[in-house]
């Protein structure tokens, strides 16, 4: 029998200007299959990206501009890539 260990979750952390809270999204290398599939589905349209991001930062997503949303997703994707995984970008 093989045993698989669960590694420590690594996060992309960020703040939204004017808000002291630190938000975090697991890097793709730390996501479960369900989380990663949800991201893959969200890469196709903006509304899905908003809902995917809402799952991690809640209603704070409503105060972001489309440009800020894109910046967050691109930065998360870059950090994920630096950990050895490739994900789609908006």
Domain membership of residue 2 (yes or no) is: no
Domain membership of residue 26 (yes or no) is: no
Question: Number of structural domains, the chain?
Answer: 1
Domain membership of residue 47 (yes or no) is: yes
Domain membership of residue 89 (yes or no) is: yes
Q: What domain range is 84 assigned to?
A: 32-90
Only one residue has tokens 């490739």, namely 86
Domain membership of residue 27 (yes or no) is: no
Domain membership of residue 50 (yes or no) is: yes
Of 67, 72, 66, residue with least CA distance to 16? 72
Domain membership of residue 12 (yes or no) is: no
Distances (CA, A) of 83 to 4, 11, 37, 42: 20, 11, 18, 21
* Each residue's pLDDT tens digit, 36-80: 888 888 877 888 889 999 999 999 999 999 999 989 999 998 998
Report pTM: 0.79
Say how far apart CA 20 and CA 37 lie, in whole Å: 30
Task: At 77, list the tokens.
Answer: 């994707």
């Amino acid at each position: 029998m093989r045993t698989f260990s669960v590694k420590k979750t690594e996060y992309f952390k960020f703040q939204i200007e004017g808000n002291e809270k630190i938000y975090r999204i697991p890097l793709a290398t730390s996501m479960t299959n369900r989380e990663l599939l949800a991201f893959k589905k969200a890469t196709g349209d903006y509304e899905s990206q908003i809902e995917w991001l809402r799952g991690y930062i809640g209603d704070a997503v409503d105060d972001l501009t489309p440009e800020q949303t894109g910046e967050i997703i691109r930065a998360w994707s870059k950090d994920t890539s630096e950990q050895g995984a490739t994900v789609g970008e908006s």
